[in-house]
Amino acid sequence: MSGARTRLFSAAFQALHATGANRVLTRHAQGLGVILTLHHVRKWSGKAFAPNRLLEVEPDFLDATLTRARELGFDFVSLDEAWRRVTTGVSVRPFLHLTFDDGYRDVRDNALPIMERHGAPATLYVTSGFADGDAGVWWLALEEAIARAKRLYVDLGAGESVLATGTPAEKSAAWSAIYWRLRAGPEEALRAEVDRLALEQGVDLGSFARELCMRWEELAEIAKNPLVTIGAHTMTHPMLAKHPVETARAEIAGSRDAIRDRLGAAPAHFAYPVGDLSAAGPRDYALTAELGFTTAVTTRPGHVAAAHRSQPTALPRVSLNGLFQTRAAIDALLSGAPFLAMEGLRRLRRRG
C-alpha cells in the first residue's frame, strides 16, 4: 500500500471516529458479524524497510481489538457457529471470528494466549507446503532480496533497468516497482523473477517457511486447543485464479488431504491465498464447494450478512492491517462504516 493511500485510510478512520459516524452508521453498515483476517502477531521490529508490515499486528493491538469488540457487544464464536448464524439469518448480537492465514509460529506464541484470555475462537488456515518446510514464501524472499541489495537489475517490461536500493526510500520504491509489476502478470513469471533476485542476493528461499511456520507436530499440538480450528490454504500458496483449473483443484484438494493425513481430520473450511478478485474468482469458489468445504473465505473486505448464505465459499473478511493499529481503525472496521462507504462509491461509479 502506498504512503498516500495509507494516509488517506488513516484520515478516513480518524474522521469516522471523531465525528461519531461509526456509531450513527453501525445500524445500517454492520452485518450479522465479522470475520477478521490476520497473519503475524508479534512485536514490531522497527526496521526502516518493511513492505510487508501490513501483514503483522502487535499483540497489544489484537488484545485491544478484542477488548473493544466485547465492549461493543460482539459474541466471539467458532466459524461453524458463525456459519450457522448466517444460514439461519439469526444473530441477536453481532459475531466475531478470528482467522490467521499461513500457519505462522508467532500465532501460537503470541496470539493464542490473547485468544484464551478473551475466549475468542480462531481458524488457522494452513498452507501444507509451509508446514512441510519446503514451500517458498515469495513475498518475504522478495523483501529480503531488496533489503540486502545495493542495486538490482530487473526487466519491468521495457528492457533491463537498474534500480538503486541503497537507502530505505530507494528500497521502498524498488519494491513498489517490482511487486506490482509482477503481481499483474502470470504467477510463474513472478516466482521465477523473485527466485532469481533472491538467489543473486544469497537468500535461502526455503528459510522463511522453516523459521516462521509451524511444522505438523506443532500444528497437531495447537489443534488440541478447543479454541482452534484448522483450515486449508492450498499446498504452495498460489493465486488460484492465475492457474488452470487442474492446478487449482490439485492445490485445494492437496492441502485438504495433507491436513487430513497429518492431523487426522479433513478440514471443513478454506481460505484463498491473497484472496482478492485477481487471485480467486467464481471458478475457484465452485471448486471449493465441489471439494466438500463448508465455507471458504476471501480477502474481499466487508461484514458477513444474511445474503451470504447463498455464497458459502466466497465469504468476505475484514483485515486487521498492521499499518492501521489505532482505536479509530478498530471502531471503523467493527462498525462496517468503511465498507458501506465503499459500496456507495461503487454505486456512484456505476451510475456515472
Q: Phi and psi of 91, rounded to 5°?
A: -155, 100
Answer yes or no: do 143 and 283 share one domain. no
Instruction: Say if 17 falls within a structural domain.
Output: no
Buried b (16+ CB within 10 A) or exposed e, 277-305: eebbeeebbebbbebebbbbbbbebbbbb
Distance CA 113, CA 51 (A): 27
Mean model confidence pLDDT for the chain: 93
3-state DSSP assignment of residue 56: strand
Answer yes or no: do 168 and 193 share one domain. yes
Instruction: Say if 249 falls within a structural domain.
Output: yes
Answer yes or no: do 229 and 316 share one domain. yes
Answer yes or no: do 59 and 101 share one domain. yes
Residue 11 near residue 5, CB atoms below 8 Å: no
Answer yes or no: do 83 and 142 share one domain. no
Tell me: the pLDDT tens digits for 175-189? 999 999 999 999 999
Tell me: the pLDDT tens digits for 2-12? 567 777 778 88
Answer yes or no: do 157 and 268 share one domain. no
Number of domains in the chain: 2
**Partners of 163 in the beta sheet?**
152
Which band of pLDDT confidence, cut at 50, 70 and 90, is reported for residue 348?
low
Percent of the chain with pLDDT over 70: 96
Grid cell for residue 232 = 486449508
Answer yes or no: do 179 and 146 share one domain. yes
> What CATH number does the domain containing 74 carry?
3.20.20.370
Tell me: the pLDDT tens digits for 91-137? 789 999 999 999 999 999 999 999 999 999 999 999 999 999 999 99
Buried b (16+ CB within 10 A) or exposed e, 187-214: beebbebbbebbeebebebeebbeebbb
Answer yes or no: do 94 and 229 share one domain. yes
Instruction: Say if 5 falls within a structural domain.
Output: no
Instruction: Say if 332 falls within a structural domain.
Output: no
Residue 1: what pLDDT? 59
Instruction: Say if 2 falls within a structural domain.
Output: no
Note down the domain range covering 145.
Answer: 138-200
Distance CA 146, CA 174 (A): 8
Answer yes or no: do 88 and 152 share one domain. no
Instruction: Say if 242 falls within a structural domain.
Output: yes
Question: In angstroms, what CA-CA distances link 323 with 8, 35, 351?
Answer: 12, 19, 33
3-state DSSP assignment of residue 235: coil
Answer yes or no: do 127 and 149 share one domain. no
Tell me: the pLDDT tens digits for 26-75? 776 788 999 999 999 999 999 999 999 999 999 999 999 999 999 999 99
Answer yes or no: do 40 and 80 share one domain. yes
Instruction: Say if 288 falls within a structural domain.
Output: yes
Q: Phi and psi of 276, rounded to 5°?
A: -85, -175
Which band of pLDDT confidence, cut at 50, 70 and 90, is reported for residue 19?
confident
Residue 58 near residue 43, CB atoms below 8 Å: yes
Answer yes or no: do 130 and 223 share one domain. yes
Instruction: Say if 339 falls within a structural domain.
Output: no
